[in-house]
């Protein structure tokens, strides 16, 4: 298994190109199941989760092709993937495939909407607390699907098609909103989705569905209205920039000091997190086509944060921010309100010398003058990158094991950081 070795202490300086958002690319790929025409997606990141979903889609009989690199494109330019779900031969997603990535469960929505039936394995256990699918199934039931659980599989049926309805989510769910949105596009009549997630990835999915012929209003607000259509067609769409990757590198620069421009991204995708970063003492400014993050010499100030649905502080940046706060002056309270048990990185950060006390949904991080390198273990996607951020300033050598978690969500991480001066390398095997 690959490992990542970091020698801490080097500041980051230069340019980091930001990839397309994994969390937008996945639902967009799944949306290709809604039509028999080709959906062409540009700026798709090269990640293990994307390859896993392609395998699942191939299993259904979806054809895909990946365009070759064109002149001027580098390995960081996202790939263009063309998906055609013309002859879907199977509407069953088996456990072996769904268990590798939770988001693949969302295929249930387009499959039942277009084919009247889907059989999808319940997603496997997940390292970040219980992540149920009850609200996703509630949305499909409201739209007229019958749901049965059979041998670990969810069987959704709507032989006469789905029917528009009012869906009110009792809590904000990104996956639930994606599922309701995709299913409603092909339902007869009007669907109103209340307390919808407002995440930029929901807007990106809606934009693409509109290009495919869907009638959607209000994406990006908490009420989305969908007027069902009889069929959707092909389209071409560019995946939006990855706000979590953007925030991660911004925090890395705040941690190490230096001056880095994050290219191909937009501040409004993570304004809340950037404002928090400003309060810690980093200088954040907007450039044409990107964001510049600087910190020179001055120490970090501790800041309290609470994770919230968009536009609040993203749970997917909580671990990275905690890493940053391990070196701040004073104590920072970090409250996690989205997922229970999303604190696995605490133990590993402690191995590097961090002082963190857990109390219910909160972590109290007391800044220390120095972290010390050590072998640590990646436990999930965002937790593992928090260890990279800590390793970048830890004295001596930090080795991160189980980096396959990182490969699920961060494209060319060590290349991007090394080019800005970090001493970081991948050890194969
Ligand atoms: C998505 C993101 C993930 C991010 C999360 C929250 C993708 C691929 N993943 O995950 O990176 O951390 O949003 O921003 O886009 N819930 C229920 N019942 C359900 C569904 C969810 O109770 O049926 C709860 C969850 O346990 C959690 C909360 O709702 O407490 C939010 O989860 P949700 O927004 O659905 O997360 P995902 O869509 O799985």
Angle, CA of 302, 307 and 309, to the nearest 5°: 145
Q: Which of 26, 28, 30, 37 is nearest to 84 (CA)?
A: 37
Atom of ligand 1 nearest to the CA of 315: 12
pLDDT of 128 higher than 60 = no
pLDDT value of position 10 = 97
Cα of 173 vs centre of ligand 1, distance in Å, is 5
Task: Determine contact, residues 93/53, Cβ cutoff 8 Å.
Answer: no
- Whole-structure pTM value: 0.96
The pLDDT mean for the chain works out to 94
Over residues 139-162, mean pLDDT: 95
Angle between helices 22-31 and 174-185 (to 10 degrees): 30
Helix or strand run (H / E) with residue 182: helix 174-185
Cα of 354 vs centre of ligand 1, distance in Å, is 28
The tens digit of pLDDT for each residue in 385-396 reads 999 999 999 999
Confidence bin at 124 (pLDDT 50/70/90): low
Best residue among 120, 173, 385 to mutate for probing ligand 1, ranked by most atoms within 8 Å of CB: 173
Catalytic residue ranges: 126
Helices (H) and strands (E) in the chain, counts: 14, 24
Confidence bin at 363 (pLDDT 50/70/90): very high
pLDDT of 349 higher than 80 = yes
pLDDT of 71 higher than 80 = no
Atom of ligand 1 nearest to the CA of 381: 11
Angle, CA of 388, 277 and 25, to the nearest 5°: 60
pLDDT value of position 129 = 47
Read off the tokens for 60.
């259904």
Which one-letter DSSP state was computed for residue 106? G
Q: Is the dihedral of CA 116, 174, 41, 219 positive or negative?
A: positive
pLDDT of 243 higher than 60 = yes
The residue with tokens 């007027």 is: 227
pLDDT value of position 96 = 86
Atom of ligand 1 nearest to the CA of 23: 15
Over residues 172-180, mean pLDDT: 98
Q: Which of 164, 157, 203, 204 is nearest to 180 (CA)?
A: 164
Confidence bin at 120 (pLDDT 50/70/90): very high
Length of the chain counted residue by residue: 429
Confidence bin at 141 (pLDDT 50/70/90): very high
SS in 3 state form for 45-56? CCCHHHHHHHHH
Burial tier of 227 (Cβ tally within 10 Å: 0-12, 13-18, 19+): middle
- Interacting residues of 22 by C-beta distance below 8 A, sequence separation 6+: 45, 47, 49, 50, 242, 244, 408, 409
pLDDT value of position 242 = 98
- Ligand 1, atom 22, lies closest to the CA of 132
Q: What are the E-state strand segments in 101-219?
A: 117-121, 146-150, 153-157, 166-168, 190-194, 215-217
Over residues 329-355, mean pLDDT: 95
Task: Determine contact, residues 312/247, Cβ cutoff 8 Å.
Answer: no
Task: Determine contact, residues 133/143, Cβ cutoff 8 Å.
Answer: no
pLDDT of 67 higher than 90 = no
Read off the tokens for 153.
């599989």
Q: Lowest-confidence range among 19-23, 294-298, 372-376?
A: 294-298
Over residues 233-251, mean pLDDT: 98
Q: Lowest-confidence range among 127-131, 175-179, 223-227, 399-403?
A: 127-131
Q: What percentage of the chain has pLDDT greater than the value 70? A: 96
Best residue among 107, 108, 131 to mutate for probing ligand 1, ranked by most atoms within 8 Å of CB: 131
Rounded Cα gap, residues 209 and 236, in angstroms: 10
Over residues 200-220, mean pLDDT: 98
Task: Mark the binding-site residues for phosphoenolpyruvate, compressed into ranges.
Answer: 22-23
Atom of ligand 1 nearest to the CA of 129: 26
Q: Which of 141, 156, 179 is nearest to 34 (CA)?
A: 179
Rounded Cα gap, residues 279 and 283, in angstroms: 9
Confidence bin at 84 (pLDDT 50/70/90): very high
Phi, psi dihedrals of residue 305, rounded to the nearest 5°: -135, 155
- Ligand 1, atom 33, lies closest to the CA of 173
Over residues 329-357, mean pLDDT: 95
**Pocket residues: Cβ below 6 A from ligand 1:** 23, 26, 102-103, 131-136, 171, 173-176, 315-316, 338-339
The tens digit of pLDDT for each residue in 13-38 reads 999 999 999 999 999 999 999 999 99
Rounded Cα gap, residues 248 and 413, in angstroms: 11
Phi, psi dihedrals of residue 255, rounded to the nearest 5°: -70, -50
Cα of 379 vs centre of ligand 1, distance in Å, is 18
Atom of ligand 1 nearest to the CA of 138: 23
Confidence bin at 402 (pLDDT 50/70/90): confident
Task: Mark the binding-site residues, compressed into ranges.
Answer: 22-23, 102, 131-135, 316, 338
- Ligand 1, atom 9, lies closest to the CA of 23
Helix or strand run (H / E) with residue 344: none
Cα of 131 vs centre of ligand 1, distance in Å, is 7
Cα of 94 vs centre of ligand 1, distance in Å, is 21
pLDDT of 77 higher than 90 = no
Task: Mark the binding-site residues for UDP-N-acetyl-alpha-D-glucosamine, compressed into ranges.
Answer: 102, 131-135, 316, 338
Rounded Cα gap, residues 217 and 231, in angstroms: 18
- Ligand 1, atom 5, lies closest to the CA of 174
Cα of 202 vs centre of ligand 1, distance in Å, is 13
More confident residue, 412 or 378: 412
pLDDT value of position 72 = 61
pLDDT value of position 126 = 45
251-287 burial, b at 16+ Cβ within 10 Å, e below that, comes to: bbbbbbbbbbbbbbbbbebbebbbebbeebbbebeee
The residue with tokens 């620069």 is: 253
More confident residue, 70 or 100: 100
Cα of 310 vs centre of ligand 1, distance in Å, is 12
pLDDT of 41 higher than 50 = yes
pLDDT of 127 higher than 50 = no
Task: Determine contact, residues 398/374, Cβ cutoff 8 Å.
Answer: yes
pLDDT value of position 75 = 60
Task: Determine contact, residues 19/411, Cβ cutoff 8 Å.
Answer: yes
Q: What percentage of the chain has pLDDT greater than the value 90? A: 83
- Ligand 1, atom 15, lies closest to the CA of 23
Facing residues of 13 across strands?
259
Q: Domains of the chain by range and CATH? A: 3-19+241-427 (3.65.10.10), 22-238 (3.65.10.10)
Confidence bin at 203 (pLDDT 50/70/90): very high
Task: Determine contact, residues 362/335, Cβ cutoff 8 Å.
Answer: yes
Q: Lowest-confidence range among 86-100, 150-164, 303-317, 343-357?
A: 86-100
Q: What is the DSSP string of 329-365?
A: BSEEEEE--SSTT--THHHHHHHTT-EEEEETTEEEE
């Amino acid at each position: 298994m690959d490992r990542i070795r970091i020698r801490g202490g080097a500041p980051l300086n230069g340019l980091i190109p930001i990839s397309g958002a994994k969390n937008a690319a996945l639902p967009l790929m799944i949306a290709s199941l809604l039509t028999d025409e080709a959906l062409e997606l540009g700026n798709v990141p090269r990640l293990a989760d994307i390859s896993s979903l392609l395998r699942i889609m191939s299993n259904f009989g979806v054809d895909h092709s990946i365009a070759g690199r064109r002149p001027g494109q580098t390995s960081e330019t996202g790939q263009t993937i063309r998906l055609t779900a013309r002859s879907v031969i199977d509407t069953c997603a088996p456990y072996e495939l769904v268990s590798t990535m939770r988001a693949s469960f969302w295929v249930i929505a387009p499959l039942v909407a277009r084919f009247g039936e889907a059989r999808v394995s319940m997603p496997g256990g997940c390292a970040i607390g219980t992540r149920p699918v009850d609200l996703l199934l509630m949305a499909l039931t409201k739209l007229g699907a019958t749901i049965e659980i059979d041998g670990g599989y969810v069987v959704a049926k709507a032989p006469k098609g789905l029917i528009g309805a009012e869906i009110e989510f009792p809590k904000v769910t990104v996956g639930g909103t994606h599922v309701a949105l995709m299913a409603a596009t092909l339902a007869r009549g009007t669907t109103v989705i209340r307390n919808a997630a407002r995440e930029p990835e929901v807007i990106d999915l809606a934009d693409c569905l509109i290009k495919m012929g869907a009638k959607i209003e209000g994406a990006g607000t908490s009420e989305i209205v969908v007027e069902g259509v009889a069929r959707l067609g092909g389209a071409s769409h560019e995946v939006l920039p990855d706000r979590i990757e953007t925030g991660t590198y911004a925090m890395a620069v705040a941690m190490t000091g230096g001056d880095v421009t994050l290219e191909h991204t937009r501040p409004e995708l993570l304004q809340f997190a950037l404002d928090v970063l400003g309060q810690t003492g980093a200088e954040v400014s907007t450039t044409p086509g990107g964001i510049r993050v600087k910190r020179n010499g001055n120490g970090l100030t501790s800041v309290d944060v609470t994770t919230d649905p968009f536009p609040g502080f993203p749970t997917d940046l909580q671990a990275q921010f905690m890493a940053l706060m391990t070196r701040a002056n004073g104590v920072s309270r970090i409250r996690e309100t989205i997922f229970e048990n999303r604190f696995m990185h605490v133990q590993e950060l402690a191995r590097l010398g961090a002082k963190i006390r857990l109390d219910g949904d909160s972590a109290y991080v007391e800044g220390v003058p120095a972290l010390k390198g050590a072998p640590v273990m990646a436990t999930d996607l965002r937790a593992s990158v928090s260890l990279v951020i800590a390793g970048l300033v830890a004295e001596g050598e930090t080795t991160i094991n189980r980096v396959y978690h990182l490969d699920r969500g961060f494209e060319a991480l060590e290349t991007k950081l090394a080019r800005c001066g970090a001493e970081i390398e991948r050890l194969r095997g």
